[in-house]
Each structure stands twice: as C-alpha cells, then as structure tokens.
C-alpha cells in the first residue's frame, strides 16, 4: 500500500483555507478531499472524488457531472463546484492549479492508469452495475 498526502491552498471568495487530499493505492480510483474550515471555523467537509476526474480537470476547460464539477477559473486556479445532495446546497471553491497538478502527477506515478489492481477494477464494475 502506498499513500500520497497533500495539502492544497484553496479559497472561497476571500476566505482562504486548506484542502487535504489523500490517495491510497488500495483504492486506486479514489481521492479523499477534506476541506478544512469551509463550513466554519474548525469544521471539516470531506468528499471522495474519482482520480480520473482530478486528472481531467487539469487538462480540460470543464469536466464533471452531477455533484462535482470543475472549471478553469484562471491560469492560477481551478474552480470546483460541489452540490450537497443531502441539503440541496452548492458551493464553489478555487484550488491552486500548480499544487493540484503536482498531486495528480504523484498519484499517477504511484499507480499508473491501466495498472490498477484487478480487485479495484472488479469493485468499480460492481459499483457501476449496482448503482441506480
């Protein structure tokens, strides 16, 4: 098992905070993003994002669907809109582009595309099959 832990500077409006990103090779398609301080002082909000979505957002103008969408904000920032299905709210944060690109490169070094363990591919297939 190999992990990558990274803290990426973010902002929402004029409020700056850190997003902790964790990748674990035992779950090679997922990245855990924890937004520290986005919901208030000391509050954390965590999301699990498909790693290919993170890769795509560093290369395309827009990507994503449903509750997670990315867009190019500027040369220095990537926008991320999150829609909370539990309360119907949405919010947008801006991620540091260079830091995000470094993190994405690192996780694809740990587990290159197409070299994910067979168990992970089977889990993904079963999840897709059983999803409504």
For the stretch 67-120, pLDDT in tens is 899 999 888 999 999 887 777 778 898 999 999 999 999 999 998 887 676 665
Residue 29 has pLDDT above 70, yes or no: yes
User: Measuring CA to CA, how many Å separate 43 from each of 10, 26, 32?
Assistant: 15, 27, 16
User: What CATH number has the domain spanning 3-115?
Assistant: 2.30.31.20
Global confidence as pTM: 0.78
pLDDT > 90 fraction of the chain, expressed in percent and rounded:
33
Q: Give the per-residue pLDDT at 17.
A: 85
Where are the strands (E) in the chain, listed by range?
3-12, 15-24, 30-36, 44-50, 62-65, 68-72, 77-83, 90-96
**Rounded Cα distance, 124 and 23, in Å:** 16
Q: Give the per-residue pLDDT at 35.
A: 84
Residue 9 has pLDDT above 60, yes or no: yes
The candidate with the shortest Cα–Cα distance to 31, out of 4, 8, 10, 9, is: 4
With a CB cutoff of 8 Å and minimum separation 6, the contacts of 17 are 10, 11, 35, 36, 37, 38
What residues does each domain of the chain span? 3-115
Q: What is the mean pLDDT of the chain?
A: 83
């Amino acid at each position: 098992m190999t992990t990558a832990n990274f803290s990426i500077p973010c902002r929402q409006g004029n409020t700056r905070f850190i997003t902790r990103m964790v990748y674990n090779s035992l779950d090679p398609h997922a990245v855990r993003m924890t937004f520290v301080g986005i919901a208030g002082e000391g509050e954390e909000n965590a999301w699990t994002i498909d790693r290919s979505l993170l890769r795509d957002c560093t290369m395309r103008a827009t990507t994503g669907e449903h509750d997670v969408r990315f867009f190019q904000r500027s040369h220095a920032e990537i926008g991320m809109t999150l829609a909370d299905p539990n309360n119907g709210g949405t919010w947008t944060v801006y991620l540091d582009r260079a830091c995000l690109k470094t993190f994405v490169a690192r996780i694809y070094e740990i587990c290159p595309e197409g070299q994910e363990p067979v168990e992970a591919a089977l889990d993904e297939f079963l999840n897709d099959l059983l999803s409504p």
